[in-house]
Amino acid sequence: MSSINTNSSAMVALQTLKSINTNLEKTQGEISTGKSIAMAKDNSAVWAISKVMESDVSGFKSISDSLSVGEATVAVASAGAEQIVKVLDEMKSLAISGNSETADFAKIDADMAQKEAQILSIISASQFNGVNLLVSDVDGNGGTQLTVLSSLDRVGTGAPTASTIDVATVDFEANLDIAGRTAVTDQASAVTALGEMEAFLQTAITGAADLGASAKRITDQNEFVGKLTDAMKNGIGALVDADMEEASARLQALQTQQQLGVQALSIANQAPQTILSLFR
């Protein structure tokens, strides 16, 4: 039955064209934004996951900055400790030379006094951003360690928890009583000074080794956080990024479908005109 009030063919053609236009708009949006899921309405579950992961990525960027500062702080302290080991080794050699009765004890002690001052200067200068791991008070507020934010751990749907790396001071101020060393005035005092230098040297070597181990741990953790951040970015991309090759092919197909849909609607709209032939 033909009717001039209801054009079923035009209604079908119009709905088809609307569907094509909707898909075309979505595809154009993917191409312009580069994302297949740009808003919650595109896919609420995947969008929510991607936003949580993006928040974690931002957190890991801050963690990487914290690790970099911590790495630099420990590196400065480690460099200072290694230099102190070198100076103490030189002082030990001076004490050994004083074990001879013909040694010039005054010159040896004067030289050791200069190296003592050098060590004290190194201890006080080995700070980064106000934190010194060679002294008793690390940060000027009574702190005894450097706490470095190292990770953001998330289990299930629970809130993430922060992990830290703690680097304790080697406290050369208290453990290296270099200012209280025995003055070299004769062979006997040189023997005593030699024993003191050996003890100081072992303390300094242990401290330098501890700082070196902490520095390596922070460096490794910073490298891991960088790789983890890259992996998370790739995961987010796999969830929400558009496949541009596929989108390009789909765009071409939808544009063709749109043209055909317009023609189909035009043909359907002309159908009532054929009713006029019934009255001729």
d(CA 104, CA 278): 135
Shared domain for 25 and 45, answered yes or no, is: no
Ramachandran region, residue 34 (left: φ > 0; alpha: ψ -120 to 50; beta: rest): left
Shared domain for 208 and 151, answered yes or no, is: yes
Q: How confident is the model at residue 34 (pLDDT cuts 50, 70, 90)?
A: confident
* Burial of 167: CB neighbours in 10 Å, binned 0-12, 13-18, 19+: buried
Chain position carrying tokens 């004083």: 98
The more confidently predicted of residues 279 and 27 is: 27
Q: How confident is the model at residue 1 (pLDDT cuts 50, 70, 90)?
A: low
d(CA 113, CA 120): 11
Q: Are 276 and 15 in contact (CB under 8 A)?
A: no
Shared domain for 70 and 205, answered yes or no, is: yes
Q: What is the mean pLDDT of residues 229-257?
A: 88
CB count within 10 Å of CB 242 equals 20
Shared domain for 114 and 198, answered yes or no, is: yes
| Angle of CA points 71, 123, 147, to nearest 5° | 35
Report the pLDDT value the prediction gives residue 278, as an integer from 0 to 100: 67
Report the pLDDT value the prediction gives residue 280, as an integer from 0 to 100: 65
> At 48, which CATH number?
1.20.1330.10
Chain position carrying tokens 């507020």: 141
Shared domain for 228 and 252, answered yes or no, is: no
Report the pLDDT value the prediction gives residue 2, as an integer from 0 to 100: 63
**Which residues neighbour 168 within 8 Å (Cβ) at sequence distance 6 or greater?**
133, 144, 145, 210
Shared domain for 16 and 97, answered yes or no, is: no
pLDDT digits (tens, 9 = 90+) for 163-214: 999 999 999 999 998 989 999 999 999 999 999 999 999 999 999 999 999 9
Shared domain for 57 and 124, answered yes or no, is: yes
Chain position carrying tokens 């190292």: 150
pTM: 0.77
Mean pLDDT over the full length of the chain: 89
Shared domain for 81 and 210, answered yes or no, is: yes
Shared domain for 179 and 275, answered yes or no, is: no
Taking the CA atoms of the chain, what radius of gyration do you get in angstroms?
38
No. of helices (H) and no. of strands (E), the chain: 6, 4
Shared domain for 110 and 100, answered yes or no, is: yes
Q: Which SS3 state, helix, strand or coil, does residue 117 take? A: helix
- Which of 6-15, 18-27, 47-56 is predicted least confidently? 6-15
Residue 101 pLDDT greater than 80, yes or no? no
Q: Are 57 and 240 in contact (CB under 8 A)?
A: no
Residue 4 pLDDT greater than 70, yes or no? no
d(CA 218, CA 71): 6
Beta 131-132 vs 127-128: how paired, if at all? antiparallel
Q: What is the mean pLDDT of residues 225-232?
A: 92
Q: Are 172 and 81 in contact (CB under 8 A)?
A: yes
Which phi and psi angles does 40 have, rounded to 5°? Answer: -60, -30
**Which residues neighbour 206 within 8 Å (Cβ) at sequence distance 6 or greater?**
170
Domain that holds residue 143: 40-241
Q: What is the dihedral of CA 98, 110, 194, 191, to 10 degrees?
A: 50
